[in-house]
């Protein structure tokens, strides 16, 4: 599948970082430019009804060729990459016939991707591994999903003997900042159900995700010359540190797994006068999720009492909820995915998403939408990588769903 590799390498070189401070959709010009390129490509490979709206949402159709009335299946991926890591000037590296040992990403900076740090890497010995050069993320989240969907459609168009019903595809902006479904028109998309291609390593199949909230804490102190600061200065940085210490220290992402939730302080910027803290709050269990939000509110209140001269305020917003209940009511779409995986020689591993996807919100908007693997690992950082063979299997799974889901 040379088209798959070339397509993916071309996509990741295009910077599509979102801008959380911009309320427009898409939040960055680069995403719209990428969307325009994708729309042209979809038309070129023979897709029908290709549209790109003013909010940066692409939709397209692969018409049915099976001559039967069957449900419409959709496939969705997002165009933006994580804002948490550098993403400009991405230089993907292709390592053929990986030998199972350390991969030197950057000789000058001595940046090494090692199976010692990431043991699952060695399981891909003999395969083609695509990595960063150690200075940026790769962008497989979710350029891999886009490349896999486009490649699958291209192959079905080129092979009309692959009989399928009507297929809809969509590519969305701003998923990484929680807005991927904000302007998604479910009715116009017109699918009975869909799958996001936004998962991790090969074999993952997910229909449970975190309940999620974002919180911004603003701490205002008082700046006084340090020589005369006694009983007068209120250092907002120290106040912020106290607040964070009131949260469970072992309930952070680096200490949790599986169904364990967390508080994640992912950005803090400040001075004596003012400090801004940004948290995300996650839990699969709705009761525990509510308790976490209450805990942060209580920590803010307690910090305000501890430092009466400071101003400590929090703004909290729910982002998405666990789609489990929606998918379980439509469990046949999981059964169809399991069948498609096994047809591709992949034994599915059903596990919870330790994150979110557009599919979580779309499921509550009337479009049941579990999550399929893309094949990538170590998303959102410079050690991100993806095996080409896993991407090829994802393409097979998409095609298998299309040709067998309605049999």
Annotated active-site positions, please?
A: 80, 175
Neighbouring CB atoms inside 10 A of 272's CB total 17
Q: Are 378 and 385 in contact (CB under 8 A)?
A: yes
Reading phi first (left if > 0) and then psi (alpha if -120 to 50, else beta), residue 127 is in: beta
Extract the tokens encoding 154: 């291209």
């Amino acid at each position: 599948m040379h088209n798959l590799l070339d397509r993916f390498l071309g996509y990741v070189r295009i910077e599509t970082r979102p801008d959380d401070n911009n309320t427009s959709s898409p939040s960055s010009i680069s995403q719209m430019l990428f969307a325009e390129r994708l729309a042209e490509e979809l038309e070129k490979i023979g897709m029908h009804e290709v549209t790109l709206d003013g909010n940066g949402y692409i939709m397209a159709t692969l018409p049915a060729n099976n001559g039967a009335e069957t449900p419409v299946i959709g496939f969705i991926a997002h165009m933006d990459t994580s804002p948490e890591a550098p993403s400009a000037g991405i230089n993907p590296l292709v390592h053929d016939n990986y030998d199972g040992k350390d991969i030197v990403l950057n000789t000058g900076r001595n940046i090494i991707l090692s199976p010692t740090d990431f043991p699952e890497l060695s399981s891909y010995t003999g395969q083609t591994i695509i990595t960063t050069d150690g200075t940026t993320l790769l962008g497989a989240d979710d350029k891999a999903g886009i490349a896999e969907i486009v490649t699958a459609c291209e192959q079905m168009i080129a092979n009309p003997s692959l009989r399928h019903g009507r297929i809809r595809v969509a590519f969305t902006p701003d998923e990484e900042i929680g807005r991927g479904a904000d302007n998604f028109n479910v009715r116009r998309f017109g699918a009975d159900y869909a799958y996001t291609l936004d998962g991790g390593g090969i074999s993952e199949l997910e229909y449970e995700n975190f309940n999620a909230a974002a919180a911004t804490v603003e701490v205002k102190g008082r700046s006084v010359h340090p020589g005369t600061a006694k009983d007068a200065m209120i250092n907002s940085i120290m106040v912020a540190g106290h607040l964070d210490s009131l949260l469970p220290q072992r309930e952070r992402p680096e200490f949790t797994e599986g169904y364990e939730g967390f508080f994640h302080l992912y950005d803090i910027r400040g001075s004596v006068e003012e400090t801004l803290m940004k948290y995300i709050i996650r839990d699969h269990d709705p009761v525990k999720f509510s308790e976490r939000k209450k805990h942060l509110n209580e920590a803010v209140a307690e910090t305000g009492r501890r430092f009466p001269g400071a101003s400590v305020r929090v703004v909290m917003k729910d982002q998405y909820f666990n789609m489990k209940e929606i998918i379980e009511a439509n469990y046949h779409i999981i059964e169809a995915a399991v069948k498609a995986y096994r047809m591709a020689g992949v034994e599915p591993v059903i596990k919870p998403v330790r994150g979110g996807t557009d599919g979580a919100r779309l499921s509550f908007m009337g479009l049941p939408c579990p999550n399929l693997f893309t094949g990538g690992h170590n998303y959102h950082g410079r050690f991100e990588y993806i095996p080409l063979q896993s991407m090829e299997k994802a393409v097979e799974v998409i095609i298998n769903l299309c040709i067998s889901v309605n049999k």
